[in-house]
Structure formats: structure tokens, C-alpha cells
Structure 1
């Protein structure tokens, strides 16, 4: 299973109303952290009612918890999170 598919599947646990998973690895080709896999740099935009009343740091923790070991297998993850 691709990293993108794994991320999409695992983030369903947060019951998103909007979910975008964007592979940005091509923008970092040849830079530090580029492992040549084409799946090293990611951007996730996620909206869910579960973020209502939850601070920024806790939202990030919730996403990292949902992604589990995927986070350790990539180099970079940027997040745009909203309720």
C-alpha cells in the first residue's frame, strides 16, 4: 500500500469533512531528507468537527496519533487543520 493510501485510510478515524493528502516529494528532489522513494514529503489539509474547541498542538497530536508509524517513515509533514 502506498504512503498516500495509508494516510488516507488512517485519517478516516478523525471523521474528516475535508481531507486532502498531497505528495510534495517532487518539490524536494535532491534535498536533505529525499530518500528517492518519491514519498518523503507530504501536506495534509484536514477539517473535522472533532477539532472543535481543540488547540493547535492537540490537533497535531491527534493527527500524529491517527497516522501512527507512518510519521516515522516519512521525512516531512505539513498540516493545515480546522474544525
Structure 2
């Protein structure tokens, strides 16, 4: 399973998302710091979930990072767009 699929699976398991996009942006960072050459180091997540309504922006980000658990160590950059 590639990293994009792992991220998606972790988020689907943790949240009742009404919309979820996991976008691999690694190609945009080729040769930059943090590029490990795997093509799976930089991601953007766009997610809407009802549970986010009562959370602050920081709480939403913390919840996503908690859901990803050990995957966080394998991702160099993660842009989050959460609503």
C-alpha cells in the first residue's frame, strides 16, 4: 500500500468525513530538502468532517496528526485544509 492509501485509510478509520482528498505533491518538491527520492514525502489533505465543527483549527490539526500516528514520521510535509 502506498503512502497516499495509508493516509486515506487512517483518516477514513478515524473520521466520518463527508469529503476527503489526499494529494501527493511530492513531485513539486523534487530535489528540495526533505525529498527522500521515494516520491511519497509531501502531501496535502483536504477534508470536511462534521466532528470538526466544534473544534478550533489547532484541535483539528492535532486530531489529524493523532489519527495518522506513526505515519507522521514517514511524511516530510503535510498541508492540511480542514473544515
TM range (shorter): over 0.9
Task: State the match for 1:69 in structure 2.
Answer: 70
1:1-83 paired onto structure 2 within 5 Å: 1-12=1-12, 13-82=14-83
Cα deviation for residue 52 of structure 1 reads 1.0
CA distance in 1, matches of 2:17, 2:54: 16
Task: Identify unmatched segments of 5+ residues in structure 1.
Answer: none
Task: Identify unmatched segments of 5+ residues in structure 2.
Answer: none
> What value does the CA root-mean-square deviation take over the aligned residues?
0.5
Cα deviation for residue 53 of structure 1 reads 1.6
Cα deviation for residue 17 of structure 1 reads 0.4
Alignment coverage as a number of residue pairs = 82
Secondary structure, counterpart of 2:31 in structure 1: coil
TM-score by length of 2: 0.96
Cα deviation for residue 30 of structure 1 reads 0.3
CA distance in 2, matches of 1:77, 1:68: 13
CA distance in 1, matches of 2:15, 2:65: 11
CA distance in 1, matches of 2:32, 2:6: 24
